[in-house]
Structure 1
Amino acid sequence: MSRSPSAGAAMPTTKTARQARVTALLANKAVRSQAELATLLADDGLVVGQATLSRDLVELRAYRVRGKDGGLIYAVPREGGERGVHSPSSQELLDTRLVRLCGELLVTAEASANIAVLRTPPGAANFLALAIDHSVMPSILGTIAGDDTVMIITRDPQGGAQVAERFLQFAAESGASG
């Protein structure tokens, strides 16, 4: 296991974990080269050869796009296969999507300590949890979804109420705009 300094969590050195980290790095940083990406991975304790990194980028369907400064950077397809740059600026798009989904799917939100429990119609919890997992919300450690319930674990030992309230705000915002 390696430790990711940015996340503060143990990370296995499996292909799946490595590719998830590559995707997260490309989602949050303007990475210009494979060498730069390899350095970022090494900073997280993942030493990767160029051939392995190249295969990972192919399997992740990474492509090059022009960044804000006009230089080429790596990007990965968004959820649903859409092409676009994952970057901090895409947070607005993710929040917009979460707002819309909460307006459509959120039935209730309650909290206890560092846990927020969201209720959805039957069959919708997994869809909402996936959208939450793909969002950039640093206060959220992770989600677990059942058929009609999403459990969100927050990093703050008492952060559940704040996160539950945020999702209720998302639903209210969606209702006001739609």
Structure 2
Amino acid sequence: MSSHAVPQTKAARQALVRQLIETAAVESQTQLAAMLEQQGLHATQATLSRDLVEIGAIKVRNADGRLTYATQAILESIEDTGARLNRLCAELLHSAAGSANLTVLRTPEGAAQFLAMAIDSHDDPDLLGTVAGDDTIIVIAADPVGGERLAQKFLDRASGLTH
């Protein structure tokens, strides 16, 4: 056990998890648990799973083609909001459908809030805001009948056709 043990609080543990993800290519919760152990902190898989969700970490394909955990800070440091939104749509968007002024986006479980943060941080005059659940995002279009057009805009982003 390390002599510089981290305090056993949730906030301290999550700060260390975030730091490890942002400074190393963390590919699994098992690897993350081992890295925490080296820092003198024991965490169960269930605890790490909750921590990863709460800090907004998701798995993305890195430059080597491997899936690694990433946080919003990592993604913001390497790409602008439009490029990040395009990449996240390509990686996370399962479907998009519009009706009236609403667009419903479907993502993998646990990814909706992460994608919604990227949508909200990208300044787009065509939308008013988002509401995210676990795997579903409702996007409110500025145009009273813009839901279908906005759905197509997200599908285009996922396909590499940017707006």
Dislocated runs of 4+, deviation >2 Å:
81-84
Percent pairwise identity: 51
Q: 1:85-104 to 2 correspondence within 5 Å?
A: 93-104=80-91
Offset of residue 153 of structure 1: 0.4
For 1:168, the equivalent position in structure 2 comes to: 155
Give the AA of the match of 2:94.
V
Structure 2 residue 110 is the aligned partner of structure 1 residue 117 = no
Structure 2: runs of 5 or more not aligned: 1-71
TM-score (norm 2): 0.51
For 1:6, the equivalent position in structure 2 comes to: none
| Structural RMSD (CA) | 2.2
Matches of 1:159 and 1:83, distance apart in 2: 28
Offset of residue 120 of structure 1: 0.2
TM-score (norm 1): 0.47
Structure 1: runs of 5 or more not aligned: 1-78, 85-91
For 1:5, the equivalent position in structure 2 comes to: none
Structure 2 residue 142 is the aligned partner of structure 1 residue 155 = yes
Structure 2 residue 129 is the aligned partner of structure 1 residue 136 = no
For 1:145, the equivalent position in structure 2 comes to: 132
Offset of residue 93 of structure 1: 2.0
Matches of 1:167 and 1:159, distance apart in 2: 12
What SS class does the counterpart of residue 111 from structure 1 fall into? strand
Matches of 2:145 and 2:111, distance apart in 1: 27
Offset of residue 83 of structure 1: 8.7
Give the AA of the match of 1:80.
A
Structure 2 residue 94 is the aligned partner of structure 1 residue 107 = yes
| Alpha-carbon displacement from aligned partner over 1:8-47 (angstroms, at most 9, x marks no partner) | xxxxxxxxxxxxxxxxxxxxxxxxxxxxxxxxxxxxxxxx
Q: 1:9-158 to 2 correspondence within 5 Å?
A: 80=73, 93-158=80-145
Offset of residue 113 of structure 1: 0.4
Matches of 1:93 and 1:167, distance apart in 2: 17
Offset of residue 81 of structure 1: 7.9
Offset of residue 162 of structure 1: 1.0
Give the AA of the match of 2:151.
A
Matches of 2:92 and 2:127, distance apart in 1: 19
